[in-house]
Each structure stands twice: as C-alpha cells, then as structure tokens.
Amino acid sequence: MKLEEAKEKFIQAWGTFGSNWGINRTMAQVHALLLVSADPLSAEDIMEALNISRGNTNMNVRALIDWGLVFKEFQSGERKEFFTAEKDIWQVFKQIAKERRKRELEPVFKVLNEVSRVEGDTESKEMKAFNEAIQGIHNFASKADGTLDKLIKADENWFFNAFIKLMK
Amino acid sequence: MKLEEAKEKFIQAWGTFGSNWGINRTMAQVHALLLVSADPLSAEDIMEALNISRGNTNMNVRALIDWGLVFKEFQSGERKEFFTAEKDIWQVFKQIAKERRKRELEPVFKVLNEVSRVEGDTESKEMKAFNEAIQGIHNFASKADGTLDKLIKADENWFFNAFIKLMK
DNA sequence: ATAAATTTTCAATATTATTTGAAAGTTCGG
DNA sequence: CCGAACTTTCAAATAATATTGAAAATTTAT
C-alpha cells in the first residue's frame, strides 16, 4: 500500500470511529489528517486533502482547538494560520475525557438532583422503583466522575499498570 | 415535582445523553422508560408512554435486546411480550463496554494493521510521521483493549476501589 | 386448519445534522 | 488609512438518520 492510500484509509476509518462516539465525521477526519501529517497544515491544505469547503474546515478546526486537540502554529514569513494535532494519544484521550466529563456529566447530575426531589406516596411500588433507579444511577455517576477525575490527572503508565498490578 | 413529571424529565435527559454517545435518542428513551418502571411493559405501553409508532418501538426494543440491556418477560395469561431493563447500572455499563469493544475496537485494529504495512522510502519525513502516529495509536488501542477486557470481567467495587487504593 | 392476536418489515416520509459558499468581518503591511 | 490576504459567520441547500404505518409474516388458542 502506498502512503497516500494508507493515509486516506486511516482518515476514513478515524472518521467512522469518531461518528460512533458522537463526534462529527469531518471533525474526526480533520483530526486524523493532522495526526498523520509530518508538518502543520493550513486551512487550504485541509480543504484540499479532505475535499471540504472553507466554512466547514474553519468550523471543525475551531471545534478541535476548543477541545484542546489541535493547536495553531505560526510559520515565519507566512500570514495564514497553520494547524497541528496533539500527537500523544494518551493526552488526546485525557483531553476528550475532560471535555466530555464537563459537558455531559454535569447536566446529568443536574437532572438527577432535580428528579430525586419527587414528591408523593413514598411507599408506592412505582415511587420506590423510580427512586431506586435514580439512586443507582446517581451513585454510579458519582463514582465514575471521581474515577474520571483521577484518570485525567494520572499519567498513562500509572493507569495501565494499575490494572496489571491489581490482577495479581 | 410529581412522579410522572420526574419520569418524563429523566427520560428526556437520558435520550439527550445517549444521542451524544452515538446511541439513537429513542433507543435511549425506551431504555430510560424501562429503567424507571416498576413492572415490565408491553410494546403498547412503550408506544403510548413515548408517543412513538409500533414499528419504531419494535426496532428499538430489539436493538436493546441485542445489546443485552433489555430482556423479554412472559406474563402468565398474557399473549403479548413484556420487557424489562437490566437495572444494575454497573452491569449496564459493562454490557455496553463489551459490545462497543467488539463492534468498534476490532475494526480499528483491522485498519491499523492494514495501514501499518505501508511501503516506500522508510526514511522520508512523511513516512516516519505516519508510522509513528499509527504505532502510537496501535499501542494505545492495545492497552485500552486489555484494560477494557479486565474491566468487563471485574466487579464494580474492585474497579472503583482500585483507584482509591492506588492514589494513596 | 383457521383466524385472531401479535410482531416484524420496509418503502415512503419526516426530522435532524452537516455542509456549502458567498458576504461580512478581521488583520496586517505599507 | 487602504486594500489585499485571510478568517469567520450563517442562511440555505444537501445529506444522513430516524420514524411512520400499513402490509406481510408469525405465533398461538381453539
């Protein structure tokens, strides 16, 4: 397989993978393109490589910068902006975990707290089932939140070694 | 807040949460509805509660059964099928992890292996950058796969306690 | 075997998410 | 300041995804 073909294949695959995880396909593809590029790319380079419009390129690059996965670079003598991706996958993973924790776990807690103040006959079967379900989710979400927090602060080896060590 | 209102709110929130994670909104809502229901529900119950068509109900319930998150129940004297959700959230989490690992990690490995057999001038900057990126992802994916495998086999307390213990 | 009850399928339709592209906005060298 | 180079915005167009509903298939009781 030729390099160009391999890049293309990887970019496609990364796009599909991303869209399974609520990340838009193009955003994941831009990320993949930057991941496998030796040098920083300009908006034009990205447009051309992925066959997408200028607006689309801009939107997705901005989003990636928001997520902390892509950085602007300035090239001396060039007026336009260039972009590079964070290449350490563990950093990428942590960064995504951090963002999603903030964006998604917080709203879940908000709703769980709201609905746990439900009023009525505490003894009814319906009420008991509801409260138990909500409590179970709340409990789990709290633990997951704590775990994620530690994960975000941890380094890669610490994390993976933890499992090996504890299995003994 | 009344029970019905609380249920409604929770179902909405769970649907939104799910759709951020590549799970279709209705599927997540059906799951939420079954999670907070005291008794098993029939297709008709679900249709009515969520205001969705029979076909849609059927599709999403089947998908949930495929994922191992919902089970059929037979009620004596009733001809139709009833459904209940797995209520242990840790089980739910493990089940989802298991399915996604199988459905998504495997294709990623397939592509990574394919593209790592790229041919050409091994010394070129472009080629080196590509190989390094792919290798980095491959390495990370392998570790993640191993970790997930252990996670799937582990019990809840073991998992959460591991973090607390190791932080000391 | 029959028919009523129930589930499943799937083409048509509706909804939602993404993309485009041109206009407006910004930045910067001279 | 001016205008060329570049970036951003966003309404409209397009594409992707989910939903409906009625017909077909299946199941079950008699």
Give the model's pLDDT for residue A168: 63
Distance (Å, whole) CA A61 – CA B82: 47
**Distinct helix (H) and strand (E) counts, chain A:** 8, 3
Mean pLDDT in residue range A117-123:
93
Distance from the Cα of B47 to chain A's closest Cα (Å) equals: 19
Residue A165 predicted with pLDDT over 90: no
CB of A108 nearer than 7 A to strand C: no
A54 touches chain B (CB under 8 A): no
CB of B81 nearer than 7 A to strand C: yes
Q: Which residue has the tokens 């801009």?
A: A58
Do residue B38 and residue A126 have CB atoms under 8 angstroms apart? yes
Distance from the Cα of A42 to chain B's closest Cα (Å) equals: 17
Residue B168 predicted with pLDDT over 80: no
Sheet holding A82-85, edge to edge: A41-42, A82-85, A70-73
Mean pLDDT in residue range B136-147:
95
**Distinct helix (H) and strand (E) counts, chain B:** 8, 3
Residue B86 predicted with pLDDT over 80: yes
Of chain A residues 115-154, which have a CB less than 8 A from chain B?
A: 115, 117-120, 125-130, 132-134, 136-137, 139-140, 143, 146-147, 150
Do residue A87 and residue B136 have CB atoms under 8 angstroms apart? yes
Positions 94-123 in B, CB within 7 angstroms of strand C: none
Task: Tell me, rounded to whole angstroms, the distance of Cα B52 from its chain centroid.
Answer: 22
Residue B37 predicted with pLDDT over 90: yes
pLDDT in tens, B45-63: 999 999 999 999 999 999 9
- Name the closest residue on chain B to residue A137, using Cα atoms: B89
Of chain A residues 87-106, which have a CB less than 8 A from chain B?
A: 87-90, 93, 100, 104
Give me chain B's average pLDDT, please.
Answer: 94
What nucleotide is nearest B81 when CA is compared to C1'? C6
pLDDT in tens, A12-50: 999 999 999 989 999 999 999 999 999 999 999 999 999
A163 touches chain B (CB under 8 A): yes
3-state secondary structure of B82: strand
Instruction: Provide φ and ψ at B77, rounded to 5°.
Output: 85, -10
Distance from the Cα of A54 to chain B's closest Cα (Å) equals: 25
With beta carbons less than 8 A apart as the criterion, state whether A140 and B89 touch. yes
Between CA A40 and C1' C21 the distance (Å) reads 25
Do residue B3 and residue A130 have CB atoms under 8 angstroms apart? yes
Q: Torsion angle of alpha carbons A101, B152, B22, B12, nearest 10°?
A: -70
For B88-112, letters b (16+ CB in 10 Å) and e give ebbebbbbeebebbeeebeebeebb
Mean pLDDT in residue range B78-101:
95
% of chain B surpassing 70 pLDDT:
98
Distance from the Cα of A79 to chain B's closest Cα (Å) equals: 24
Residues 6+ apart with CB under 8 A from A159: A151, B147
The DSSP call for residue B102 is: I
Give the model's pLDDT for residue A139: 96
Give the model's pLDDT for residue A156: 86
Give the model's pLDDT for residue B119: 94
Give the model's pLDDT for residue A81: 96
